Structures are given as C-alpha cells and as structure tokens.
Amino acid sequence: MARTAGGKEHLETARCLLKSATTADELRLAQSVLLPLELGLSLEQTAIAIGRSSGATCTMRTRFAKVASGAMAAARRKTELRNRAKADVATEREILDEVLTHAATGGVVVIPHFKEAIEAKLGKSLSLSSVYRMLARHGWRKLAPDTSHPQGDEQARSDRKKNSRPRWVRS
C-alpha cells in the first residue's frame, strides 16, 4: 500500500496558486499538490492527470513544499532569464523609440549607422547581430526586398535577361 500524501500545511498556498496561475507550469504545480491531498490520487494518477512523469511530479511537489516553507527560493520566470542581456526589454524599447523616430514614419533604417547611436544611449558596446536581434525582438522587420539599385537602368536590366524558349512543352 502506498503512503499517503503529505504537505497539508501548504494546501491553502496551493489553492491560491491554482486561482492565480498564469502559465500552464504554475497550474500543473498547484495541481500536483492539490490532487493527492484533496482527491486522494496516487502519485502515478496525479502524474497522468497533469501530463508529467511520476518523477517530475514528485520533484514538483517537494520543490513547492520547500518554496512554501521558505527553505528554497522560488524559481524565476522565463521572461526574466535573458542571460548576458545589455538591458531589459523596456529599456531597449525606450532606446529604439528615441533612436529610430524617423523610421517609424516610413524612413529607411540602415542599421550600421544607428548602431553607434544605440550604443551611446545604452552606454555599452554591441555587436551588429545584437542590434539586429534587438530590432527583431521589438517587431522591426525588413518590409521590402532590395532587388535592384535605385540608380540602375531598368531597360538595360531587362535587355540582359535571357528570353530563350523553354526546353520542354507541357502536354
């Protein structure tokens, strides 16, 4: 016969987490504590109900108990885990709004020219790929392909194209 689930002292904390859960992981964490205590499910049944392995469910329960009792710090959210970031997302947005003001009205953005201005506002040096990733993170994207030079001759370009017949004909 299996042991009965422990952790009744954390039942109210788990109920509050269940009501305020914003992510699926938070919901699973609360369910991993509540289902065995309130419904009497075994660890294996709880694991099936929340869609995790029994080992992961056991780990979730023990981690929840340690965090609730204060023996362990709570895990940080994944949005806070930007390793080696030069600035947080809000600061990046402010810098891009200041530096790229004319580009928002339809101007052309040449990134190497704006890289120096972004570095000056940020106070740190950035690689060019970091600037491109920052722009992508905030919704900036290339709207039109650069297929021809603006001072090129369209007539000369069309004359150079091959106009040979195709080798095969559809039947």
Q: Tell me the per-residue pLDDT of 60-94, one tens digit each, with 9 for 90 and over.
A: 999 988 888 888 877 766 555 466 777 888 888 89
Domain boundaries, the chain: 8-75, 89-137
Instruction: Give the chain's length.
Output: 171
Q: Which of 54, 62, 64 is nearest to 27 (CA)?
A: 64
pLDDT band for position 51 (50/70/90)? very high
Locus of tokens 């392995």: 53
Fold type of domain 8-75? Arc Repressor Mutant, subunit A (1.10.10)
Mean pLDDT score of the chain? 82
Share of the chain above pLDDT 70, in %: 82
CA-to-CA distance for 95 and 79, rounded, in angstroms? Answer: 20
When mean pLDDT is compared across 5-14, 63-72, 158-167, the lowest value belongs to 158-167
Question: What's the rounded mean pLDDT across residues 138-160?
Answer: 75
pTM: predicted TM-score of the whole model, two decimal places: 0.47
Give the pLDDT confidence score for residue 75 in this predicted structure: 73
CA-to-CA distance for 88 and 90, rounded, in angstroms? Answer: 6
Give the pLDDT confidence score for residue 102 in this predicted structure: 73
